[in-house]
Structure 1
């Protein structure tokens, strides 16, 4: 199997987090190649088309480019920016998806990133420190979306232990607190060109999502439900064909919920084990069971 075939296979069969990583890397490569081609042709730099995808803090710009609330989180122009975002996302996204399923993983990344962008835009137009800057302040990168995933995971399973820089064993809740504190302390520093409020916005969404999901409520439906309803308006209704059973056919025995209850009890037991001892304490069988169960969430 060639490298291209392997990448296609992993993209088609891998988790949502892998697909998102591939898309981010793919967009980075496209911009990189465009930049090289522009230099060879002595044409305009690729930087000239970035504004079509970045999220600008100026209302006169972003109001006419609403898609940038989504597109900005897939654009990186430096290898360092891309690398660290994707490393953190690979670690957090994999575990998040195992625990809460692919749908929740995708919704949290997209909605968390969009919410991060919204907080960024609002704060840049409210606080005089940012509002009075003599230049526009666009934002790109997956940092806000990744923060939403990471903080949601840390809130959902706070005692999960990870190795920081491969050496120091730290619980997720402490890492999440440290990341948020760094961003809070950095909001007054406009010289570092870091979108601290976008990070904080992502963290807020991730925290709210996890707190509510623990209560059995998915707040992402605030966004996804209206979108699903809008989709139905533009989707043709399929003709429903009803097959009538003959009197000779035996009535099927109604399914009981016993199996469902048993499966849920086993999942709960595994989640309790993660909270107590961390994800690494699970056996391969338990990890596989949790992964398969997440597909039905």
Structure 2
């Protein structure tokens, strides 16, 4: 019971990235249970052989028109333990930093719109190229496109940020992103069960969104506003009111009492208004240093 309470607390108080991870894990567990029940009972509603198919994104435009919700639901489904483990592991180590640098709304919209872009490119390419058309209607599921959007978005924002790969290889984010994108480009014509075009669709959105953000353009503001209304997120920062005793009305020896997050928020606001290049060297250094403490 203590573990359950801890999970509830983390879900309630955690950021968008933590919530997305918990939702993915919960959905995976739920569909694993339901899938076994359907198989044991030999239930086959509407001719669906696998319950996942009803929520997976299909390469057939007709099936998509019948199940429009799948463009959202597919990015929260996974076909195996290792599928969800790999996706959530990558997402865990990148999304927290991305959310801290870009904010809650951007973290959520990048994940979802990245998934949308992946699905749309998957649909177009599987009906455009004969190689895929000959394969018939193929359902797709997984958070890979959405995770790719966040990953490439972070690499675009902090290209020179260094990470330790496997704990032994120090590599910059931009090179790590290039390797992942190159892997998908090389595998475009492979029949390996990996939706490489969907990954590239997510990568495209991550790069497009963040590169515009650094120029002071928020190209997802319309979607961010929609998500804000639907999810209850707010752009207003909480105002901290500090009551001081009258006898302690001495000026603080600390020149700036803002927290690190508040300073980062101010810098991000400046980027939105005037672009990344409008930052002073000190502000750029502070933002980069703040990303190391996430």
Tell me which interval the TM-score lies in, with the shorter structure as reference length.
0.7 to 0.9
- Out of 41, 52, 68, the position equivalent to 1:66 is 68
Aligned counterparts of 2:131 and 2:150: Cα–Cα separation in 1? 29
3-state SS, counterpart of residue 139 of structure 2: coil
Aligned counterparts of 2:162 and 2:64: Cα–Cα separation in 1? 40
Q: What is residue 11 of structure 1 aligned with on the other side?
A: 11
Question: For residues 45-100 of structure 1, what are the alpha-carbon distances to aligned partners after superposition, in whole Å with 9 as ceiling and x for unaligned?
Answer: 99522122100011111012111111000001200100000000001100001111
TM-score (norm 2): 0.77
Aligned counterparts of 1:98 and 1:229: Cα–Cα separation in 2? 17
Judged with a 3 Å threshold, the aligned counterparts in structure 2 of structure 1 residues 87 and 271 are, in CA distance, closer, same or farther, namely farther
Q: Pairwise mapping of residues 26-65 of structure 1 onto structure 2 (< 5 A)?
A: 26-41=26-41, 43-44=43-44, 48-65=50-67
Q: Kindly indicate whether the alpha-carbon contact (under 8 Å) linking 1:161 and 1:278 is maintained by their aligned counterparts in 2.
A: no
Deviation, 1:127, is 1.5
Aligned counterparts of 1:47 and 1:15: Cα–Cα separation in 2? 36
Deviation, 1:117, is 0.6
Q: Kindly indicate whether the alpha-carbon contact (under 8 Å) linking 1:54 and 1:71 is maintained by their aligned counterparts in 2.
A: yes
Q: What is residue 235 of structure 1 aligned with on the other side?
A: none
Structure 2: give runs of 5+ residues left out of the alignment. Answer: 231-255, 270-278
Q: Pairwise mapping of residues 271-282 of structure 1 onto structure 2 (< 5 A)?
A: 271-273=284-286, 275=288, 279-280=291-292, 282=293
Deviation, 1:216, is 1.2
3-state SS, counterpart of residue 109 of structure 2: helix
Q: What is residue 244 of structure 2 aligned with on the other side?
A: none
Q: What is residue 112 of structure 1 aligned with on the other side?
A: 114
Question: For residues 182-215 of structure 1, what are the alpha-carbon distances to aligned partners after superposition, in whole Å with 9 as ceiling and x for unaligned?
Answer: 00000011x2010000000000000001100101
Q: Kindly indicate whether the alpha-carbon contact (under 8 Å) linking 2:17 and 2:99 is maintained by their aligned counterparts in 1.
A: yes
Q: What is residue 25 of structure 2 aligned with on the other side?
A: 25
Q: Kindly indicate whether the alpha-carbon contact (under 8 Å) linking 2:98 and 2:154 is maintained by their aligned counterparts in 1.
A: yes
Aligned counterparts of 1:123 and 1:34: Cα–Cα separation in 2? 32
Q: Kindly indicate whether the alpha-carbon contact (under 8 Å) linking 2:212 and 2:218 is maintained by their aligned counterparts in 1.
A: yes
Structure 1: give runs of 5+ residues left out of the alignment. Answer: 232-257, 288-297
3-state SS, counterpart of residue 90 of structure 1: helix
Q: What is residue 171 of structure 1 aligned with on the other side?
A: 172
Deviation, 1:274, is 5.3
Aligned counterparts of 2:75 and 2:24: Cα–Cα separation in 1? 8
Aligned counterparts of 2:143 and 2:291: Cα–Cα separation in 1? 25
Judged with a 3 Å threshold, the aligned counterparts in structure 2 of structure 1 residues 271 and 44 are, in CA distance, closer, same or farther, namely farther
Aligned counterparts of 2:16 and 2:184: Cα–Cα separation in 1? 27
3-state SS, counterpart of residue 83 of structure 2: helix
3-state SS, counterpart of residue 141 of structure 1: coil
Aligned counterparts of 1:36 and 1:116: Cα–Cα separation in 2? 29
Q: Kindly indicate whether the alpha-carbon contact (under 8 Å) linking 1:154 and 1:173 is maintained by their aligned counterparts in 2.
A: yes
- Out of 127, 130, 135, the position equivalent to 2:129 is 127
Deviation, 1:220, is 1.0
Aligned counterparts of 1:124 and 1:201: Cα–Cα separation in 2? 13
Judged with a 3 Å threshold, the aligned counterparts in structure 2 of structure 1 residues 229 and 34 are, in CA distance, closer, same or farther, namely closer
Question: For residues 132-190 of structure 1, what are the alpha-carbon distances to aligned partners after superposition, in whole Å with 9 as ceiling and x for unaligned?
Answer: 32x2111100000000000000000001111112221111000000000000000011x
Judged with a 3 Å threshold, the aligned counterparts in structure 2 of structure 1 residues 69 and 266 are, in CA distance, closer, same or farther, namely closer
Q: What is residue 99 of structure 1 aligned with on the other side?
A: 101
Deviation, 1:40, is 4.4
Q: Kindly indicate whether the alpha-carbon contact (under 8 Å) linking 1:157 and 1:274 is maintained by their aligned counterparts in 2.
A: no
3-state SS, counterpart of residue 192 of structure 1: coil
Judged with a 3 Å threshold, the aligned counterparts in structure 2 of structure 1 residues 278 and 182 are, in CA distance, closer, same or farther, namely farther
